[in-house]
Amino acid sequence: MVTSERRSRPQAVLFACGMNAVRSPMAAGLFQQLFGKSIYVGSAGVQKGELDPFAVAVMEEIGIDITRHKPVTFEDVEDLEGLNFDLIVTLSPPAHHKALELTLTHAAEVEYWPTIDPTGVEGSREQRLDAYRSVRDELMTRIRERFGSRTGGGNE
């Protein structure tokens, strides 16, 4: 059993989804906003997509700029910086399977947070934005529930 201190305060977290274009960059941006540099955060996808403009828009609404995010795959992360994460939070089934596969050769805890992919929502621009806002807000709630706040013992 992992101690609650380690569970609540990993040193490096990787958020992962299918294309690293919506959910995982949103989660990483939210996480970084909450924890700054006190906990290292990254994001990756099973495949490489294009950063989604709706994701950018809903993050800008709350003052988080993800425009410089460049989607990467798990392999890209491993090549660029190594998979030195002690926690991988997966947001889609393909990412979860990939992360579990990686734990055969990397010591990392994996948590699965099933998260709706808002790219499939149809309707007006506002209806689509609402779907992205819902994902953003759900991710923020889960991050706060799982990791607490910076003042909870993880100060820089």
Domain map of the chain by residue range?
11-142
Predicted confidence (pLDDT) per residue in 6-30, tens digit: 455 799 999 999 999 999 999 999 9
Average pLDDT of the residues in 50-64: 97
Predicted confidence (pLDDT) per residue in 82-99, tens digit: 778 999 999 999 999 999
Quote the CA–CA distance of 22 and 33 in Å, as a whole number.
17
Decide if pLDDT at 150 tops 70: no
In degrees rounded to 5, what are phi and psi of residue 111? -120, 140
**pTM (two decimals):** 0.89
pLDDT value for 8: 55
Predicted confidence (pLDDT) per residue in 121-134, tens digit: 999 999 999 999 99
Q: Domain 11-142: what homologous superfamily?
A: Response regulator (3.40.50.2300)
Average pLDDT of the residues in 53-70: 97
Residue 112 one-letter amino acid: Y
Q: Tokens 């939210």 identify what position?
A: 30
Decide if pLDDT at 79 tops 70: yes
Q: Taking all residues of the chain, what is their mean pLDDT, rounded to a whole number?
A: 90
Residue 84 CA neighbour count, 13 Å, CB half: 7
Among residues 100, 52, 56, 54, the alpha carbon closest in space to that of 74 is found at 100
Decide if pLDDT at 1 tops 50: no
Torsion angle in degrees (nearest 10) through CA of 99, 103, 106, 110: 60
Average pLDDT of the residues in 61-81: 92
Long-range CB contacts (< 8 A, 24+ apart) of 63-66? 63/33, 64/29, 64/30, 64/33, 65/29, 66/25, 66/26, 66/29
**E strand intervals along the chain:** 12-17, 40-45, 87-90, 109-112
Among residues 99, 138, 147, the alpha carbon closest in space to that of 115 is found at 138
Decide if pLDDT at 151 tops 80: no
